[in-house]
Chains A and B, each alone.
Chain A
Amino acid sequence: MSVYFQIEEYHRPRDLAQAVEILSRLGKKARVIAGGTDILPLRPGVRENDSIRHLVDISKLDLNYLKKENDQIRIGAATNINTICTSPLFLSGPYRALAEAADSHSTTTIKNRATVGGNLCNASACADLTLPLLVLDAILVAAGPKGEREIPIESFFKGANYMALDPAEVLLEIRIPRCPQKAGTAFVKLRRHQTAIDMAIVNTATFITCNKGHCEAARIALGAVAPIAFRSKKAESVLAGAELSEETIQKAAATAAEEARPIDDLRATAAYRKKMVRVLVRRSLETSMRRCRS
């Protein structure tokens, strides 16, 4: 009946084994669906839904959870983004950047359905949750026909809307490993002001640990300025071991802008994006520094 979104079959596997079996059989014709907020707009007239003929719903796989065990945080892939916004787990310490990214992701109405795993698996370079998870060195746990495997988030993204999972694999969990609780983190995003839904022009997350005015370690992730979100390692090395002065922060921000490889698109020009990387990274580092406990 619907002329809007046409697929041949909707699969509702009871458990992981059945989900993997269906995905292995259908290969690239199938796509995993959780909340569906990135998939439903893929239709003729809005955005091309090129090859999806089957949807595999993972809502019965019990992947909607948040757990803290031995200083490690485990987020089920189908946990909705509003759960991250409202959980006390992310209100303090090094996890604040994650709460900030979840807050700015979109509106409450969309965040009630959109999931953490969906934000990652869609592999958009501007996906907000990617950036705090990059600076927190998250580990992604996936399962497929050969069993489970762990993928460090830095090697998860392969290109624009293209990530490391095999078509028969399902993302199960996002693990945030134990990290120094004294670290300060922040997430900063630039978007057009008229809407709470539009994607980022530039977004960034930063992580700093410091001791007596010196930076011990720094991590900087940049979004929307390359085909994938990435860690700006050159900018990080400017900070590591250095005194945390205005000058070093300015230098790190400028280095991050040099590392950015943005393009012109309908949201902004490449030149503007590069300038904004410098501004956003500086602001994010300043906030992270303030939040740092030495």
Chain B
Amino acid sequence: MTQIDIKIQVNGLWHELAVDPGDRLVDVLRDRLNLTGTKEGCGEGECGACTVNLNGQAVLSCLMLAVQADNCTILTIEGLQKGSELHPLQKAFISEAALQCGYCTPGMIMAANSLINNESEVTGSMIRQHLSNNLCRCTGYDRPVKAVLKAAKMVSKTMPEAGKPPV
């Protein structure tokens, strides 16, 4: 097996790694970079627990090889908060009680993050459509939808640059 050198930017830090050709992005995030906030559920693209942002877009880190992320910018749930200040999405998920066991939450929040960053205005149906790749088996979907709506309002108030693609 031939290892491959890759360079990825994760949560603002560049990492140079040698990976096996079959290593998936989720394996590298969790096992090499110890970013275990990204969860693996089904491992075949159905559940969305492993959702991260790749160059600002929501992608499934179980359906992507680490080598495919070479030279890309990745944001995981760990990179969302600024210092000790939680991101509006994290705050809203707490205040709206949008989680119970929490296993799907990092994926749901990362899917929602790409939506509120890429759209100037979001509606309930846009959120439902955008989160349709994220399964929750305990809370359901009403509370997460409310939480994302609330966070979207907070973001548009506090971060006027939202809606513009990340540099």
Contact = CB atoms under 8 A, between A and B. Distances in A.
B166 interface: no
A112 B110 CA distance: 14
B164 to A, nearest CB: 17
Contact of B63 (A37, A195, A196): A37
A113 B130 contact: no
Contacts of B63: 36-37, 40-41, 110, 113
A59 B27 contact: no
B14 to A, nearest CB: 19
A36 B22 contact: no
B64 A40 contact: yes
A118 to B, nearest CB: 12
Contacts of B4: 10
Interface in A18-66: 33, 36-37, 40-41, 46, 55, 57, 59
A113 B63 CA distance: 9
A92 interface: no
Contact of B45 (A7, A8, A57, A197): A197
Interface string B31-59: 10000000000011110100100100111
B5 to A, nearest CB: 11
B64 A108 contact: no
Contact of B23 (A1, A33, A55): A1
B125 interface: no
Contacts of B133: 106-110, 196-197
A239 B24 CA distance: 50
Interface string B119-144: 00000000001101110000000000
B2 interface: yes
Contacts of B65: 5, 10, 33, 36, 40, 55
Interface size class of A (residues with CB under 8 A): 20 to 34
B96 interface: no
Interface size class of B (residues with CB under 8 A): 20 to 34
A4 interface: yes
Contact of A197 (B43, B46, B54, B59): B46
Contacts of B20: 1-2
Given A1-B31, A2-B20, A36-B63, A108 B43 contact: no
A9 interface: yes
A110 B27 CA distance: 18
A106 B57 CA distance: 15
B116 interface: no
A72 interface: no
Contact of A196 (B44, B51, B58, B132): B132
A37 B45 CA distance: 8
Nearest to B57: A112
A6 interface: yes
Nearest to B65: A36
B46 A5 contact: no
Nearest to A197: B46
B60 A46 contact: no
B62 interface: yes
B67 interface: yes
Nearest to B55: A112
Given A2-B24, A8-B21, A112-B57, 4 more contacts: A4-B24, A9-B21, A37-B45, A109-B133
- List the 7 closest pairs (A to B, CB-CB), nearest first: A107-B133, A10-B21, A109-B133, A196-B132, A5-B22, A41-B44, A112-B57
